[in-house]
Structure 1
Amino acid sequence: MGRHGTIANRKEKQDAKKAKIFTKYAKAIAVAASQGGSDVEYNPTLKNIIDKAKSLNMPNDNIERAVKKGEANSEGDNFETIVYEGYGPNGVAVIVETLTDNRNRTGANMRYYFDKNKGNLGTTGCVGYMFDKKGQIIIEAAPNVSEDELMEAALEAGAEDFIPDEEGYEIVTSPEDFSAVRDALKEKGYKFVSSEVTMIPQTTTKLTTEEELKMMNRLVDMLEEDDDVQEVWHNWEME
């Protein structure tokens, strides 16, 4: 699974950044509830964020607190989602989704992070065409997981693609079918390493020099550390 980093790699990274991730999801949940109400039946944005937070094992208490906070104040109206696109070292394509109440601050920070790490911030659309928006479910290989059964269940539920790997399985769906496929597999008792609507790169870029690797790692870290940043996608082929 070279194009996304290995499954083990993903798990480790998620665990290490859990606290920060939960804080970001709490903010996104509060803003979504504030802007579109707390009933997930009528607020698909909120439903998607809560589903994703749950897939990362964010405690229900934290989720409920964030929803209540959003209901209680209308500050969410000051926030907007802005997507930035640019290039990292050696032309790695990078897309950054932010949730901000101050676009000037966020824009200046994004430019700084890219400039500081041998990259540059581009215009909207400069790299977006190199990615496909897809639902992606990752399931770890385990003795009780039958590849044939999982593949059949995934495709029957409406998945577009099933990619086996020695560490596990990647199931790809259209964004529209993602919830149905995820729910069908969950009902059958499958446990996910991750399940999300994401940007999957069509091609990947390798980094070979020590300097490029250092800069790219630092760029991703700086972006993920920023409180306004919700998601970072790139086409760096991690070994």
Structure 2
Amino acid sequence: MSGHNKWANIKHRKGAQDAKRSKVFTKIIRELTIAARDAGGDPDANPRLRAAMDKAKDANMPKDKIETAIKKGTGELEGEELHELLYEGYGPAGIALIISVVTDNKNRSAQEIRHILSKHGGSLAENGAVSWNFERKALIKVPKEEVEDFEEFMMEAIEAGAEDIDENSDPVEITTDPDLMAQVRDTLKEAGYSADEELTYIPKNTVTITGNDAEKLIKLLNVLDDNDDVQDVYGNYDIDDAEFERISESL
């Protein structure tokens, strides 16, 4: 399982237990608005919006909040001016990071991200310094208990456009081109599988870290996640599953 996906799973559990639901909702609302602004309010024609709506439903966001966020994106309702930014940087042990931000104040966000990184053993980098090591991909997840015949499942996914399938992860993770995300998802759902999707950045090469470096990195990820403007963080780290769980649960 790639570093980012481990962190996404930890975040999901953390979010489900987090009393500060408003922080979670704020990030999802901004994602809904940006997705609708960029490619329209129809989730069937806008894979990114569809993924954001699935995330909103998983977080038990009220339907009226979802609809309002989308209407602000399409211009049907007035909303704040939002800017979508990607910061590149380094974490402890030289781990490459891409930090996705949605903000109403670009200067504030840049200062906060720079401060967080420097305080936790990292630094901001110039555009292109780390992004060359990542590919924009769609990630589709299917509960492992639903996959009774993996060979059959794999053939269905590949025929629909899957590029890679990680049968060792739980849920099973399918990687594909972002343009094929809806096609692969719908094919699997028609075959009777549950399927959640998201857009992500997959590292071409990863760096294994352990011990103190791993603890420092996870602390950094926690602090970044607590920042209202940070939507997501992608990294090229690889940490043993058991160690990742142990450190994350202790924070």
- Please name the residue that 1:109 is paired with: 112
Structure 1 residues 164-200: Cα deviation after superposition (integer angstroms, max 9, x where no partner): 11644221111111111112112222123x4212111
Q: Is the 8 A contact 1:25 1:49 kept in 2?
A: no
Partner in structure 1 of residue 52 of structure 2: 52
Q: Provide the residue aligned with 2:95 in structure 1.
A: 92
- CA offsets 1:148-172 (integer angstroms, 9 cap, x no match): 1211110111111222116442211
SS in 2 for 1:97: strand
Counterpart among 188, 205, 209 of residue 207 in structure 1: 209
- Percent identical: 32
Q: CA deviation digits over 1:32-70, x for unaligned, max 9?
A: 44x4586327973xx513423315624461322322455
Q: Relative to structure 1, is the Cα distance of residues 177 and 150 closer, same or farther in structure 2, using a 3 angstrom cutoff?
A: same
Larger mean Cα displacement after TM superposition, 173-182 or 63-72: 63-72
The one-letter amino acid of 2:202's match is I
Question: CA separation of 1:134/1:65 partners in 2, compared to 1, >3 Å: closer, same or farther?
Answer: same
Larger mean Cα displacement after TM superposition, 195-204 or 22-31 = 22-31
| Aligned equivalents of 1:79, 1:189: Cα separation in 2 | 38
CA 1:90–1:12 in 2, change beyond 3 Å: closer, same or farther? closer
Change (3 A) 1:88 1:161: same
In structure 1, the residue matched to 2:32 is: 29
1:13 aligned partner? 11
2:104, 2:2 → 1: CA distance? 36
Tell whether 2:81 aligns with 1:83. no
- Tell me which amino acid in the other structure corresponds to 1:190: Y
Q: What is the DSSP-based 3-state SS (H/G/I as helix, E as strand, rest coil) of the residue aligned with 1:142?
A: helix
Instruction: Please identify runs of 4+ aligned residues in structure 1 that moved more than 6 A.
Output: none
Matching of residue 132 in structure 1 with residue 135 in structure 2: yes
The answer to whether residue 191 in structure 2 is matched with residue 188 in structure 1 is yes
Give me the TM-score of the superposition, normalised by structure 1.
Answer: 0.84
Query: Hey, which of these two has a bigger chunk of helix by percent?
Result: 2
The aligned runs of 1:114-193 (5 Å cut-off) are: 114-142=117-145, 145-165=148-168, 167-192=170-195
Consecutive unaligned residues of structure 2, counting only runs of 5 or more, are 241-251
Per-residue deviation at 1:2?
5.3
Q: Residue by residue, what CA displacement relative to the aligned partner does 1:191-239 show, whole Å, maximum 9, x if unpaired? A: 23x42121111111122232x2232112111111111111110111121
Change (3 A) 1:173 1:36: closer
Partner letter of residue 78 of structure 2? S
Unpaired runs of 5+ residues, structure 1, are none
Q: Is the 8 Å Cα contact of residues 136 and 202 (structure 2) preserved in structure 1?
A: yes
Normalising by structure 2, we get a TM-score of 0.80
Q: Aligned residue for 2:41?
A: 39
Q: CA RMSD in A?
A: 2.6
2:179 partner SS: coil
